[in-house]
Structure 1
Amino acid sequence: MRKARITSIVFILTAFVAFIFSACEKADPYANLQLDIEQVARDIRESGKFVEELERLDDEAVPYVYNLGNPVKAVVYAGSGATPEEIIVVEYADEQARADGYKKLSAHLSSQRETFDDYNAEYRPLLDEPLFIEAGRYIIYCISSDFDASKAALNQHIDS
């Protein structure tokens, strides 16, 4: 009888602890997000302020210019390279692939910061506040002269 009582108490405590931990786990608010990455990139380009005229890179050229991991699809707008301005919107198959892509884009950002420390240093401050967001299976990366305008364009897609 005593053993059954102890077993019951242990079971109840275990269930309670499991409940507490599961309640603390944050759900990804973007887990079911579906984006038209072509439109997201286009809207950011049209509403953001850029020093250079950004042009869409050919889809076949993107893997040769950017190491994005293994994306399902990527849309990239870039300038001449005289400024660090660019828009990169990437879709991945799952969160693990996205996490790998995020690391690679973080390395790209670090490299750009080093480059623009010396080359066209007047544009280096643009790299201090990038729009760099993970949302569900997507990464949105934008370097522009107007963070708020780019963020507002993105929010039209992820906050709806």
Structure 2
Amino acid sequence: MATEMLFLHGAGGFHDDQPLAAALGSELDAHVSMPELPDEDMSVSAWTSAIRPYVDELTDSDVLVAHSFGASMLLALLSAMATPPPRAFLLAMPNWGDQGWAVADYDFIGPEPTTALSLHHCEDDDVVPVSHVALNQRLLPSADVRLHEVGGHQFDGCASLVAAGIRAHR
């Protein structure tokens, strides 16, 4: 049976994130599901409500990946779930606290979810500064952190490295 991967794109990133999702799917030999998430309502409640049905359908062997704003919204959902999926991979996740982008509506205040988390970030990300990964690591002390030297916000050329990190935790 082929691996299933749910990929949650970033804000307005349904089209921009498709190459990354496809590359990860190819590297993992996985069937990729990437729902188009709302652009008109960027609230936490709108996004978590939109992604919850997809997350609820996952089995323990499925791969859960979220990018940028989608990673922030997935983190909020996982924190609120009584029985969240066992593992998730958060790519280029912004920090919304006072030392990050300082947007109170999106600031993660916990609790840390029981889901095992891996944070991936490229050091040359020109959208979400790499400093955000350290801020997020303070909020998520159990998370595994993987920094990639190059790849930018879209992890260009890094799919094999991210996939290796995913395989290492499966």
TM-score, normalised via structure 1 length: 0.32
Highest relative contact order (Cα 8 Å, sep 6+), 1 or 2?
A: 1
Identify, as 1 or 2, the structure richer in helix.
Answer: 1
Structure whose CA Rg is larger: 1
TM-score, normalised via structure 2 length: 0.31
